[in-house]
Chain A
Amino acid sequence: MSPAEQAALQERITLAKSGNAEAWGELYHQHAPAIFRFCRRVMPTREDAEDATMDIFIKVRQKLSQYDSTRPFSAWLYTVAGNHCWDLLRRRKLRQDLETGEVETMPLEHPDPGQLEQLIERRSGQEVRRALDKLPARSRMALVLRYYSDMSYDDIATTLGVRRTFVGVVLLRARHQLREILEGQGGASLAAGGAA
């Protein structure tokens, strides 16, 4: 984002904070599509994503006064969105695949890079998205927070309610699960890992 755009955004936020409906409308139009896509990636259905998007922006509007302008706005927005969606998922009866407990450590492995490359090479974005949909909620959430929202490990830890040191484990575990699913669709066996 250019400095001019950044300045315009900050001005919009300031106006919206003071109750300017037009500025809020612009802010909404600018960011709602990305938040909707975020919700679409983490929530099980499109309907859930729509509901979540609406609710997130209600919260954002209420919490706007608490936004610290030294922080990127979109990062803050994703934090609100991540918290909201994770909270929704936790409250749903999806507990069986949420793995809300503390993460166990991962075995220290060194998989065969060639095999991993081979698995990735042949996969299209669509196949990966389909595989992502099959992941347990926490794994999916972690990957989306990291690789869609570009969220820091600290923020991911806060959102998912795990210790900071376990974020890497959650992410790597999610990658393994993803590989397992992709592999089930016809790839080489990598999930078990290579030589340690």
Chain B
Amino acid sequence: MIHFDEMACLLYLDGQLDPARSREMDAHLTECSSCRDLLHALQHETSLLSSALTQDNESMPAHLLSTRGRAVPSWIWTLAFGAFAASAYWFWTDGIGPWLDRLSNAGFGGADVFSMIVFSGAFWEGWSDMIDAMQIGALILVVLLAIGWIRRRLRRPVAIAVVLPLMLLALALPPRAGAAEVRRGKSISVSAGETIHNDLVASGASVRIEGTVEGDVIAFSKNLTVTGHVTGDVISFSEEAVIDGTVDGNVRVFSRGVNLQGAIGKNVTAFGSSVDLGSKANIGGGMIVFAAETDLDGKIQRDLLGMVGRTDIGGLIGGQAWIRGGNLTIASTAEIRGPATFEGPQPPEVESGAKLASPIRTEITQETRRTRRTAARSAIHAVFAYGAALLVGILLLVSFPGFFRAALRETGAIGLPIGVGAVALITGGFLLIVGVLLLFIGVGAGVAGALAYAPVVYVAQVFVGAWLGNRIMGEAPSVTSAVIGRMALGLLILRIAGLVPVLGGLVWIAVLLWGTGGVLLGFYRLSRLESAPLPA
């Protein structure tokens, strides 16, 4: 007798055989005990499976049963908000506030740094095009519509968090984009007698401006030389920048060597290894210098603000001077018309003959000068920073447990998140600079981009901390408090490691890259999940 095979028996039991075959089976079963037995055994197996799967059910965890499961207790929000407010206040009063005073003293007048960057057009006068009430109104409307659209399409906040900053960036495209003349090549030169009636964006090994640019010059080059006339701003990233001509606007230079010999109508900001202001140079506004060494023999009509290793002043400073650094020498030819302050390890050398409005106020900065009060302040500050990071972690865990675990899981891969974090931060930083300065995007979008990046970078430590805690105490079980405990331990270790000189800095860099990668990968995984097909 030919028996039915096991597959046919299973399909028969599950009612999946076609009617003809099923009838055939019925007939066969009446006379074949072996097939009957097999059917019975399979049925028995089915019921064993069913009962094994349904009996001995684990109870559902209480936090899942609670309808408030995803709600964050209000005290956590209050505490978190308080900690943030305190940290922000601290940051402002200790960090930004004094700087703003100095910046405004140094000729970057305006109530605050935001208005300085965004509204005064100090960075980019084209921004003023955007400062039009109707445009802003339209922008807000578009953003609101976009949020509505996104909410309908992507209901998860995670997806919104990813998409919105990108949209903001895209929306902030200023109408001037594309207006500039772009030149690329090994050697770019605007010869004497040539006039460009437009902004000029130039990238090449050597950029020479001997003619006239009726607009701004933005240069990416090894060498930049301006001997002609630029009616707008000069913004430059180069190894050597020499400005020997006339710039009616501002000069912003990021170069190894900066040599200013000509006339600059407005303000100068210079980042470089060495920054020289030649004796013939004249700056109509103020000057900000970040450099290893600087020689200031020319004229600065308004204030000087510098963080410089070695500063020699031989020229004129029309306003106040505030300098912090290694040492300061004021030559006999120098003249400072406003009050001057120097913060450094040793008093400034002032040659006789130098004209000073008042004696230089000197603050000797030494580690030993740290009073017990400032030590206490920094200790409290550290505790606050730790507490704030922990609270952010708790909020994330309680509010977005799926995201928290996804990011934590990704962080655990170590190599991949570090790589992703490095790429993201480097390209992000690069795009930010290019975005702001090249103005394909605009300052507003640059600021928006930075604001969107900041939280990601901030929460990086949370996931590295949680990972570290897990490593030390073992994988956390599902109980939230156990996860929080591990996170608290991990963050504490990171904070303590961060206090070690040099090594601490490296630890923080690694944590930032690593955690940022984890967060971004976590976002990515969740967004991929969002696009998974759902049953209709």
- Hey, which bits of chain A sit against chain B, CB under 8 A? 25, 28-29, 32-33, 36-37, 40-41, 46-47, 50-51, 53-55, 58-59, 62-63, 66, 76, 79-80, 83-84, 87-88, 91, 106, 108-111, 113-114, 116-117, 120, 123, 125-126, 128-129, 132, 143-144, 146-148, 153, 158, 168-169, 171-172, 175, 178, 193, 196
Which stretch (B3-11, B193-201, B304-312) binds chain A?
B3-11
Q: Cβ of B10: which chain A residues have Cβ within 8 Å of it?
A: 168, 171-172, 175
Assess whether B368 is interfacial by the CB under 8 Å rule: no
Is there an interface contact between B64 and A63, defined as CB atoms closer than 8 Å? Answer: no
CB distance from B400 to the nearest CB of A (A): 10
From the candidates A58, A126, A158, A178, name the one contacting B56 in the complex (CB within 8 A). A126
Of B34, B67, B533, which contacts A113 at CB under 8 A?
B34
Q: Indicate whether B534 reaches chain A with its CB closer than 8 angstroms.
A: yes
Q: Are A148 and B53 in contact (CB under 8 A)?
A: yes
From the candidates A50, A59, A193, name the one contacting B534 in the complex (CB within 8 A): A59
Complexed CA–CA distance, A150 and B50 (Å): 9
B65 within 8 Å of A (CB atoms) = yes
Task: Assess whether B402 is in contact with A55, with CB atoms less than 8 Å apart.
Answer: yes
Separation of A33 and B62 alpha carbons in the complex (Å): 11
Q: A54-B402, A168-B11 are in contact. List 14 more A-B contacts (CB 8 A).
A: A29-B65, A36-B58, A50-B401, A53-B64, A76-B535, A91-B525, A108-B5, A108-B6, A129-B52, A147-B50, A153-B14, A153-B16, A171-B10, A172-B6
Q: Is the CB of B49 within 8 A of A83?
A: no
Interface of B is mostly: helix
Known contacts: A113-B38, A117-B44. The answer to whether A129 contacts B56 by CB under 8 A is yes
Query: 1/0 contact trace for B36-66 toward A, CB 8 Å?
Result: 0110111011101111111111111100110
Quote the shortest CB–CB distance from B229 to chain A (angstroms).
Answer: 60
In the assembly, what is the distance between CA of A142 and CA of B509, in Å?
46
Contacts of B42 in A (CB 8 A): 116
Q: Which residues of B contact A80 (CB under 8 A)?
A: 534-535
B48–A37 touching, CB < 8 Å: no
CA–CA, A126 and B51, complex, Å: 10
With beta carbons under 8 angstroms apart, the residue of B40, B41, B49 that contacts A128 is: B49
Main secondary structure of the interface of A (DSSP, over half): helix
* 30 A-B pairs in the complex with CB atoms less than 8 angstroms apart: A29-B65, A46-B58, A50-B61, A51-B401, A54-B69, A54-B70, A55-B402, A58-B156, A66-B536, A83-B535, A91-B525, A108-B6, A113-B34, A113-B41, A116-B41, A116-B45, A117-B41, A125-B48, A125-B52, A125-B56, A129-B56, A132-B52, A143-B49, A147-B46, A147-B53, A148-B53, A153-B14, A169-B7, A175-B10, A175-B45
B368-419, CB < 8 A from A? 401-402, 405
Residues of A within 8 A of B37 (CB): 113-114, 117
Measured between beta carbons, the chain B residues less than 8 angstroms from A113 are 34, 37-38, 40-41
B529 interface residue per 8 A CB criterion: yes
Q: How far is the CA of A178 from the CA of B48 in the complex (A)?
A: 12
Q: Are B56 and A193 in contact (CB under 8 A)?
A: no
CB contacts between A and B, total, < 8 Å: 144
Chain B contacts for A87, CB-based, 8 A: 529, 532-533
B155 within 8 A of A: yes
Decide: B4 and A110 in contact? CB cutoff 8 A: yes
Closest to B34 in A: A113
Q: Is the CB of A54 within 8 A of B401?
A: yes
B155 partner residues in chain A, CB cutoff 8 A = 62
Among B7, B34, B70, max chain A CB count under 10 A is at B7
A168: nearest chain-B partner, CB-CB: B11
Check B74 for interface membership: any CB of A closer than 8 A: no
Most buried by B among A37, A40, A53, A106: A37
A148 in contact with B45 (CB, 8 Å): no
A144 contacts across to B, CB distance below 8 A: 53
Closest to A28 in B: B67
B5 neighbours in A (Cβ, 8 Å):
108-110, 196
